[in-house]
A and B are shown apart, each in its own frame.
Chain A
């Protein structure tokens, strides 16, 4: 090679892409997801090869995906948001009430209301975490109960029924474009936007920096508090959006809507390779994690595995993901240390 920068083998863009895909943490989960779909489909072809089966495969995890993306952004900053399930509950009920109490309200206003209310609830979380300097685990455990309490007090034993909702709104929950559910398309658009933000904008990279070493972030002069609050607002707003879509998808909203989603969202993020200690991971991983988690839930009954074992499998998956990450991290650190020792 006579060029100034000799091309080493394996550094062409294509080779780089191949090696990146092969070593990416996300590839493993995709593989697991494909494996489960294949096994379930072999057992019962309708799992994939029926209009309903295909639709369910895409549709069921879409709402959790939104919440998991928000959760991943928060976890990347070395925090956690336990209140998202309660935010989904409040905003889902809010959506129904708006349609009942203000007939003829444009859909856009309802969507905005859900997102803004979710964002405000997230702002409360973020401000408490950033300024009170209490761990997010404790703060959001508290707001999880408070938000759910407000929801229960407001809804009482009332529930929103499908008949209360306008048809065009419910159409969003069932409609498809080119065979792909609208909700899934919406979730993917949000996912791509979040991934782009985290990768390409300064504030997105700063979230990783803060999670990687908060003290260093402070020394760098980063706006740590503002970024943490931003992450919680995003998480709340996405949960709010998920709440609105919950009403569209299910039609019926009681005061327990979204119950337990916070743990599923954390599980999805962790399975997807978002390190609970911050600084590592991607929203892609969290999204695939959400799909893996809920697809397993649907596949196991088909394989004839009873309810207790289904939960145990999910638990094993989460533990497995954490152990795998730890093993990889230790191996990486050993390798780097060894390189340094021999390099001297």
Chain B
């Protein structure tokens, strides 16, 4: 059905078109120039590193964000969605990376919420609704109880509900933002079969994925984005994985991140058999002084959860964590901190900083009891301690008592790192240390981490950015779906080996 013999480039073929779309949030430019053309009866791939602007682009299409500049055409007509309801009404369905469902409501209600079939007096026709849900599940070939609540469903099942939602919406444009991230091989095949049949019905599909094998198996055209801008669009038949990786990264990986040589010392952190059912299972690894170990994997693989469990924020069911040879009691941040463990969390604004407080108060937060006399803190003591770290980390701030909320993202991150370095840790866990930071500050953070490792600090770096992992880490661990699935020495780590470990299925395709 999708025979492209007809070569007329008539504009109505484009179901959706974005031209040089811009979006910024305050001083942060999320999308410099996003362009994308989706054709009917085609599955289009959108690839790029994390932070390339893919999600921002999707959110503009979905009506969550409004573009600052550029053109957005739907069926050749300019549109400007002020809400998700408007984009939905225009026939656009978006399946987000993380399913957004109502946990207390039934599977059926989740599919039809807001547009349930109604009968007399506007009464919801539950029988018809349930029947339609069952019909969609049959088409998808899944056995999901339409009456159960969605709470407790696996991500894969939740994803199926999202897809069922899009199908019931009869969407003309279907956008899937990494829908396969948590699916098993069988589930992926089923999803692809559905996607192909939707394509053959003449719908336009956009498929965002990090898995190249899937992109090549499913899609016909690919658009590459980098640093918030459009790079290239090409038929997949005319390109290779190597070409695409080069376009995605767009620079020499090793140059940007100055990794200084360091000699690994004794083992300081040992994690053995760490398990929390449903989140992560049997995670074991060790960390040596002076070593930077990268922890790679897809979003949702359980990396941050492992870090939080080690640090004592969350409990775990079984396994042990040893710090310097002795077992660390579970669930005690106080003990972990006292024994020399530090965690720079994923979301610095929510988890890392007290945004309304000043720079010096934030830097000294973790050492406040050491600084206090008779339980009281003196501003002069705080400032003295903070000044040292602020200058060592080159935090750019108007004053030490300026509220941290006013700092740029990079400088905020330096404050968080400074806060933990002030505790003089032996092991530093950093979770996405450079997310949302401009390129200049990024390499400063990298140099800092590198220097710290050289001075003997053991660093576990969780990162979704492959170039960062490849550039910085002495050793790379990879997690997928709650398990460690790969370990590579610096020399053996390549984008392909890491991506394979992060995405390949247990059933083992290839």
The chain A residues found within 8 Å of chain B, CB to CB, are: 200-202, 205-206, 208-209, 211-213, 215-223, 275, 279-280, 332-333, 335-341
List 16 additional contacts besides A202-B124, A206-B113, A209-B113; criterion CB under 8 Å.
A205-B109, A205-B116, A205-B124, A209-B114, A211-B104, A213-B103, A215-B100, A219-B64, A220-B84, A221-B83, A221-B86, A223-B85, A275-B104, A336-B153, A337-B152, A340-B153
Task: Assess the A339–B152 pair: CB atoms within 8 A.
Answer: yes
> B154 at the A/B interface (Cβ < 8 Å)?
yes
Q: State the main secondary structure of chain B at its contact with A.
A: loop
| The 10 residue pairs across chains A and B that have the minimum distance between CB atoms | A336-B152, A221-B85, A279-B104, A212-B102, A221-B84, A216-B100, A212-B104, A200-B123, A337-B278, A219-B100
A220 to B83, CA, bound (A): 10
Residue in B63, B86, B109, B114 whose beta carbon sits within 8 Å of that of A222 in the complex: B114
Tell whether B122 is near chain A: CB-to-CB under 8 Å.
yes
Q: CB-CB < 8 A to A221: which residues of B?
A: 63, 83-88, 114
Interchain CB contact under 8 A, A212 and B152 = no
Known: A212-B103, A220-B113, A279-B104. A200 touches B88 (CB 8 A): no
Bound-state Cα–Cα, A202 to B85, Å: 15
Interface positions of B (Cβ within 8 A of A):
63-64, 83-88, 96, 100-105, 109, 113-116, 118, 122-124, 151-154, 277-278
Contacts A221-B88, A333-B152, A337-B278 given; indicate if A201 touches B105 (C-beta within 8 A).
no
Cβ-defined contact, B277 with A213, below 8 A: no
Please name the residue on chain A nearest to B88 by beta carbon: A221
Cβ–Cβ contact B113 & A340, under 8 A: no
Q: Is the CB of B151 within 8 A of A279?
A: no
Interface of A is mostly: helix
The answer for the CA separation of A338 and B277 in the assembled complex, in Å, is: 8
B152 touches A208 (CB 8 A): no
Contacts of B96 in A (CB 8 A): 219
- Residues of B within 8 Å of A333, CB to CB, are 151-152
B124 partner residues in chain A, CB cutoff 8 A: 200-202, 205
Cβ distance B474 to chain A, nearest Cβ, rounded Å: 34
* Residues of chain B contacted by A220 (CB below 8 angstroms): 84, 100, 113-114
CB distance from A199 to the nearest CB of B (A): 8
Closest chain A residue, CB of each to CB of B62? A219
> Which chain B residue lies CB-closest to A277?
B104
Return chain B residues, CB-CB under 8 Å to A201: 122-124
Show 11 residue pairs from A and B whose CB-CB distance is below 8 angstroms, ordered by the A residue.
A202-B115, A218-B84, A219-B96, A220-B84, A220-B113, A221-B63, A221-B88, A221-B114, A222-B113, A335-B152, A336-B153
In contact, B84 and A202 (Cβ under 8 angstroms): no
A202 contacts across to B, CB distance below 8 A: 114-116, 118, 122, 124
A275 vs chain B, min Cβ distance (A): 8
Least Cβ distance of A331 to chain B in Å? 11
Q: Is A206 a contact of B100 with CB atoms below 8 Å?
A: no
Which chain B positions have C-beta within 8 A of A340? 152-154, 278
Is the Cβ of A213 less than 8 Å from the Cβ of B114?
no
- What's the nearest-Cβ distance from chain B to residue A79, in Å? 16
Q: How far is A208 from B124 in the complex, measured between Cα atoms in Å? A: 15
Contact (Cβ within 8 A) B113 A205 = yes
Interface centre among A209, A211, A339 (most CB of B within 10 A): A209
Which residue, of A200, A206, A279, A338, has the highest number of chain B Cβ atoms within 10 A?
A200
Could you tell me if B83 and A208 are in contact, using CB atoms closer than 8 angstroms? no
Question: Considering the chains assembled together, what is the distance between the CA atoms of A201 and B278 in angstroms?
Answer: 36
Residues of B near A213 (CB, < 8 A) are 100-103
Contacting pair A208 B151 (CB below 8 A)? no
**CB distance B278 to A279 under 8 Å?**
no
In whole Å, how far is A207's beta carbon from the nearest beta carbon of chain B? 11
Chain A residues with Cβ under 8 A from B154's Cβ? 340
Closest chain B CB from A77 CB (angstroms): 12
Looking at the complex, which one of A200, A211, A332, A341 makes contact with B278 (CB distance below 8 Å)?
A: A341
Query: From residue A310, how far is it (CB to closest CB) to chain B in Å?
Result: 34
A58 to B65, CA, bound (A): 54
- Nearest Cβ on chain B to A226's Cβ, whole angstroms: 11
Q: Which residue of B lies closest to A211 (CB)?
A: B104
Residue of B nearest to A213 (CB): B102
User: Which residues of the other chain, A, contact B83 by a CB distance below 8 angstroms?
Assistant: 221
- Distance in Å: Cβ of A211 to nearest Cβ of chain B: 8
Which residue of chain B lies nearest to A210 when distances are taken between CB atoms in the complex?
A: B102
Nearest to A339 among chain B residues (CB) is: B152
In the bound assembly, the distance between CA atoms of A57 and B151 in angstroms comes to 39
With CB as the reference atom, state the residue of chain A lying closest to B281.
Answer: A341
Q: How far is the CA of A336 from the CA of B88 in the complex (A)?
A: 32
CB distance from A334 to the nearest CB of B (A): 9
Chain B hits for A341, CB < 8 A: 277-278
A-chain residues with CB within 8 Å of residue B123 when the two chains form the complex: 200-201
A residues less than 8 Å from B109 (CB atoms)? 205, 209
Q: Which single member of A215, A218, A336 contacts B151 (CB below 8 Å)?
A: A336
- The minimal Cβ–Cβ distance linking A53 to chain B, given in whole angstroms, is 40
Residues of chain A contacted by B152 (CB below 8 angstroms): 332-333, 335-337, 339-340
